[in-house]
């Protein structure tokens, strides 16, 4: 997804911008670029210089090092682009220019860009790119009226015409002492320095220069100079608080691991512990952790509506089983991109829950905004980013303490989401008859979770060996029954995301209604078999696969004593209770997808065509 960095300082800003872009690489992108207000060759004036490349930021770094004089300035803007309008190309990469003086970077999508483009064409503007962004640059240029209107006023006038989402950062060679930024639907944060200031779409990008940030609100426009920051909202000057954010540098460092994904898989015992810390006492759940107003809101709840995307939606599907079985509450789970466009009939007394790693996923945010107009009791965000739009716009929130997740394929965010959802199920179950003794039993299980996950990571070597059997395959099936079906879905998603092997998940009972026709010796079938009441039925489903010559890989609870035989490889998973099984059985499936991808040699942390945080529709 696109990333923005901007800087104005007394010193050279080149390295600040490049480092910022590197720090945003985890979001996924396909091209990158920079613009500076640089001295002209005779040093008597200034001019806008841009450098843009397709591909990784490292390519931009090489291009910059070849033309340092051009890539130089005390004010500059930078961008990583994830193509939405027009293919990845140097022309389409940001920054975009209008005339010789205006350069701009933009995150988001302008929905009325075609109408604006037609209007600007009539006014004599020509377009060199396929992007919606170039329209904004020209509109600002037009609104400057040949210099009669200041850059700030021109931006204010321009954003009134924009429909869609934007985070913008603009420079103008005729006003070389300022960055003008605007936010609507796409995050922007100002980094506060001493005698220098910065802007970025994510504070992470500025961790090397400051730990003080001003989060812009929806609709804010700001003028950033070396010594001052001024912010306007709906035409009025406003003050926004400065927040100190301590950066966990360890998160953006692979350490001894070859990939962020592997590091993040291995962090799970610790981050699950961090997520439970302070939220769960020895024998009960501390429901105030959901916020001071939460207990009173929870008292009213008679059903739950969950909305999320991708991996986070799988966490919701697992939680549905917990809400039903533990809290005895009906629960509906919807994909955000679908929910937001339906005629939703909100059930009375329902808690609306969003789940998101980033808290910036456009569809999830839009679903939340839609839900707020409906008759829900409250909105709860389960999210990994405290400062995200989702958290800020929800009535209450509960943070997963996964730390920064960089691998595009989500791992530790998912298992920490599950930990929170289980805690939520317990909190709601208190109101529907869960006794203190039953709660204490569940909490005891929760306390065992980090240790069991740690033990499960010990399966790494075995999984690495079987992964080789997947590398030449084109298709695979993942099976699970009941609450393990969403676990199978998550396993299949991981495999397709990073190894590009087609993987489909099925509830094992559905096998005979179609997918069995696909089974032959070329189709690996992965199954998750915890020790629960459905085990007998699952085994019967798996025999149907063996009988058709299918190659089975079964992750089975060690207490079952499932034996490997010809065509059936059993990997024993450390013993765990039924309630923890969805979290524990996720871990070997993460490792399987990781090692299959390694065997295939794909780009594990940055799989093709995918982005970490999808902030456009």
Name the residue nearer to ligand G6P (CB basis): 303 or 358. 358
Name the residue nearer to ligand G6P (CB basis): 391 or 560. 391
From 2, 331, 383, 576, active-site residue: 2
Query: Which of 596, 330, 340 minimizes the C-alpha distance to 463?
Result: 596
Q: Give the integer Cα–Cα distance in Å for 113 and 148.
A: 25
Name the residue nearer to ligand G6P (CB basis): 357 or 394. 357
Strands 524-529 and 551-557: parallel
Name the residue nearer to ligand G6P (CB basis): 425 or 614. 614
Alpha carbon 274 to chain centroid, angstroms: 20
| Contacts of 385 by beta carbon, 8 Å cutoff, 6+ apart | 357, 358, 359, 360, 391, 399
Query: Which of 459, 404, 407 minimizes the C-alpha distance to 597?
Result: 407
Query: Which of 537, 542, 513, 514 minimizes the C-alpha distance to 527?
Result: 542
Cβ(616)–Cβ(3) below 8 Å: no
Rounded least distance, CB 2 to ligand G6P, Å = 14
Name the residue nearer to ligand G6P (CB basis): 359 or 524. 359
Rounded least distance, CB 596 to ligand G6P, Å = 17
Rounded least distance, CB 28 to ligand G6P, Å = 7
Q: Which residues of 371-395 are buried (b: 16+ CB within 10 A; e: fewer)?
A: beeeebbbbbbbbbbebbbbbbbbb
> What Rg, from alpha-carbon coordinates, does the chain have?
26
Most distant pair of Cα atoms in the chain: their distance? 83
Quickly count: other Cβ atoms within 10 Å of residue 350's Cβ.
23
Name the residue nearer to ligand G6P (CB basis): 56 or 606. 606
| Contacts of 292 by beta carbon, 8 Å cutoff, 6+ apart | none
**Contacts by 599-604, CB closer than 8 A, 24 or more apart:** 599/467, 599/468, 599/470, 599/471, 600/471, 600/499, 600/500, 600/501, 602/498, 602/499, 602/500, 604/259, 604/261, 604/262, 604/407, 604/409, 604/498
- Which residues contact ligand G6P by CB under 6 A? 309-312, 356-358, 361, 364, 408, 410, 610, 612-614
Helices marked H in 224-309: 260-266, 268-276, 294-298
Query: Which of 193, 195, 188, 255 minimizes the C-alpha distance to 222?
Result: 188
Is 612 catalytic? The answer is yes
Q: Give the integer Cα–Cα distance in Å for 211 and 255.
A: 22
Name the residue nearer to ligand G6P (CB basis): 187 or 310. 310
Rounded least distance, CB 358 to ligand G6P, Å = 3
| Contacts of 497 by beta carbon, 8 Å cutoff, 6+ apart | 408, 409, 593, 607, 610
Distances (CA, A) of 506 to 155, 538, 572: 51, 12, 21
Name the residue nearer to ligand G6P (CB basis): 231 or 399. 399
Q: Which residues are catalytic?
A: 2, 612
């Amino acid at each position: 997804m696109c990333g923005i960095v901007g800087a104005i300082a007394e010193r050279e800003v080149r390295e600040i911008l490049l480092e910022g872009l590197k720090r945003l690489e985890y979001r996924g992108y396909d091209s990158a670029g920079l613009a500076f207000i640089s001295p002209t060759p005779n040093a008597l004036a200034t001019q806008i210089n841009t450098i843009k490349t397709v591909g990784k930021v490292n390519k931009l770094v090489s291009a910059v090092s070849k033309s340092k004089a051009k890539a130089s300035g005390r004010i500059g803007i930078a961008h990583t682009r994830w193509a939405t309008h027009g293919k990845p190309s140097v022309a389409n990469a940001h920054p975009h220019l209008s005339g010789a003086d205006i350069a701009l970077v933009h995150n988001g999508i302008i929905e009325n860009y075609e109408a604006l483009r037609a209007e600007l064409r009539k006014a004599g503007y020509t377009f060199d790119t396929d992007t919606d962004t170039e329209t904004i640059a020209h509109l600002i240029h037009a609104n400057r009226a040949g210099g009669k209107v200041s850059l700030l006023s021109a931006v204010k006038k321009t954003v009134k015409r924009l429909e869609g989402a934007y985070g913008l950062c603009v420079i103008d060679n005729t006003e070389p002492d300022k960055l003008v930024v605007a936010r609507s639907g796409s995050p922007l944060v100002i980094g506060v320095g001493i005698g220098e200031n910065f802007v970025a779409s994510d504070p992470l990008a500025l961790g090397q220069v400051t730990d003080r940030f001003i989060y812009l609100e929806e609709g804010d426009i700001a003028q950033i100079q070396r010594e001052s920051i001024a912010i306007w909202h709906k035409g009025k000057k406003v003050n926004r608080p400065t927040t100190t954010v301590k950066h966990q540098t360890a998160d953006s460092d692979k350490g001894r691991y070859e990939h962020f994904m592997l590091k993040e898989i291995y962090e799970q015992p610790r981050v699950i512990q961090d997520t439970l810390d302070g939220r769960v006492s020895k024998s009960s759940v501390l429901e105030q952790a959901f916020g001071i107003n939460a207990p009173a809101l929870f008292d009213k709840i008679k059903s739950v509506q969950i909305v999320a995307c991708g991996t986070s939606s799988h966490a919701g599907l697992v939680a549905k089983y917990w809400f039903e079985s533990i809290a005895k509450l009906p629960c509906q789970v919807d994909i955000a991109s679908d929910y937001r466009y339906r005629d939703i009939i909100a059930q009375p007394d329902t808690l609306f829950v969003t789940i998101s790693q980033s808290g910036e996923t456009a569809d999830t945010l839009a679903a939340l905004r839609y839900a707020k107009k409906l008759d829900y009791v409250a909105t709860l965000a389960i999210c990994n980013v405290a400062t995200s739009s989702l958290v800020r716009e929800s009535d209450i929130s509960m943070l997963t303490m996964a730390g920064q997740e960089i691998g595009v394929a989500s791992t530790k965010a998912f298992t920490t989401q599950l930990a929170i959802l289980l805690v939520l199920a317990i909190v709601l179950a208190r109101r529907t008859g869960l006794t203190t003794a039953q709660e204490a039993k569940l909490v005891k299980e929760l306390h065992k979770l980090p240790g069991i996950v740690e033990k499960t990571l010990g399966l790494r070597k075995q999984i690495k060996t079987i992964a080789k059997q997947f590398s030449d395959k084109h298709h695979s099936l993942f099976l699970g029954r009941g609450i393990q079906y969403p676990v199978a879905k998550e396993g299949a998603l991981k495999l397709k995301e990073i190894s590009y092997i087609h993987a489909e998940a099925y509830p094992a009972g559905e096998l005979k209604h179609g997918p069995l026709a696909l089974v032959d010796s070329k189709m690996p079938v992965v199954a998750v078999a915890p020790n629960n009441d459905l085990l007998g039925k699952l085994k019967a489903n798996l025999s149907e696969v063996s009988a058709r010559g299918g190659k089975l890989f079964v992750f089975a609870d060690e207490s079952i004593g499932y034996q490997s035989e010809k065509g059936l490889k059993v990997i024993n998973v450390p013993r765990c209770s039924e309630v923890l099984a969805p979290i524990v059985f996720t871990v070997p499936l993460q490792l399987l997808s990781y090692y299959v991808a390694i065997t295939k040699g794909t780009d594990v942390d940055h799989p093709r065509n995918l982005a970490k945080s999808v902030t456009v529709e």
